[in-house]
Amino acid sequence: MTGNGRIAEGRAVAFATTQWSVVLTAQSKSPSAHEALEKLCRTYWWPLYGFVRRQGYNPEEAQDFTQGFFAMLLERRDLDVVRREKGRLRSYLLTALKNYLGKARRRALTLKRGEGKPLMALDELMARERADLEPAHLLTAEGIYERRWALTLLEHALARLEQEFQTAGNATLFEKLKPLLTDESERASQADIAHELNMTENAVKQALHRLRQRYRVVLRDEIADTVAVPTDIEDELRHFITILQT
């Protein structure tokens, strides 16, 4: 096999372990399936919950609907019908939620309080609800879902970067540089950071450049986790950027 062939094969293997395959893994009852479902829930709970809330339900009702939706996916083995050709995980889950809300009766949807282990800590959910500053009156339910989807991916990317910097012993540097990832008027800030951390301004500039490069790679990886085939990545990345810019 040629060198290029090995690279292509390596990329295919890497892509095969994305979040879409996490969904497929969640079909079984193995420990890895439980972990896969938990990852799925933590990524999509907040966006899907926001969609339900925009339908006019109060927080407790929206919690029940969202919890019930994920429970249904697992209990009814709805994930068994998911295949890679279905497309983007973002679109699949929203469509599935709409069908769930449209068909199920309120009595059947509500989970008894305290019955079963929540798929996501509700105190964490409500903390985000209280801190929510979205202009909800300007967004449709789908708009809230998509914006929260994009913000969640952004949070995951930044968390990965933070962990990488912490592992390298550069946690303070990351905290100082993080606000500059999207700030184009950062020249004076770089000088301030250099002074605070006893670095040269050129060293800070190089560190910021490397951080931005790594940020693009990590963000692309997060996007790749949500699509069925590699050819969809660039379109989904453009969609992600459009959402955050609106």
- Tell which of 105, 132, 159 closes a domain: 132
- 55's CB contacts (< 8 A; 6+ apart) are 101, 141
Residue range(s) defining the domain that contains residue 106:
19-132
**DSSP letters spanning 193-241:** HHHHTT--HHHHHHHHHHHHHHHHHHHHHHHHTT-SSGGGHHHHHHHHH
| 121-130, 151-160, 161-170, 174-183, range with the lowest pLDDT | 121-130
Contact 183, 208 (CB under 8 A): no
SS3 of 71-135: HHHHHCCHHHHCCHHHCCHHHHHHHHHHHHHHHCCHHHHCCCCCCCCCCCCHHHHHHHHHHCCCC
DSSP state of 184: S
- Would you state the pLDDT for residue 118? 53
Decide which of 132, 155, 185 is a domain's last residue.
Answer: 132
> How open is the CA angle 145-148-154, to the nearest 5 degrees?
145
Quick one: which of 89, 45, 82, 51 has its CA closest to 67?
45
Spatial separation of the C-alpha atoms in residues 176 and 138, rounded to whole Å = 33
**Which two tokens mark 99?**
């069908």
Asked if residue 81 is part of any domain, the answer here is yes
Percent of residues, the chain, with pLDDT higher than 90 = 31
Do 119 and 66 reside in the same domain of the chain? yes
Do 30 and 41 reside in the same domain of the chain? Answer: yes
Residue 91: is it exposed, middle or buried by C-beta count within 10 angstroms (0-12/13-18/19+)?
middle
1 is a domain residue: no
Q: Are 226 and 146 in contact (CB under 8 A)?
A: no
> Do the Cβ atoms of 19 and 89 come closer than 8 Å?
yes
Find which of 69-73, 104-108, 166-170, 226-230 is predicted with most confidence, using mean pLDDT: 166-170
d(CA 44, CA 143): 14
Give residue 184's identity as a one-letter amino acid code. E
Same domain, 119 and 202: no
Q: Considering its fold, how many domains does the chain have in total?
A: 2
Polymer length of the chain: 246
pLDDT of 184: 58
Sign of the dihedral through C-alpha 45, 79, 90, 146: negative
- Do 223 and 233 meet the contact criterion of CB atoms below 8 Å apart? yes
Q: Is the pLDDT of residue 166 over 70?
A: yes
CA dist 148 and 93 (Å) reads 14
Same domain? For 139 and 228 the reply is yes
In-domain check, residue 223: yes
pLDDT at 16: 42
2-47: per-residue pLDDT in tens?
444 433 333 333 334 456 666 666 666 667 666 767 777 778 888 9
In terms of domains, do 80 and 188 share one? no
Please state whether the predicted TM-score (pTM) of the whole model is above 0.85. no
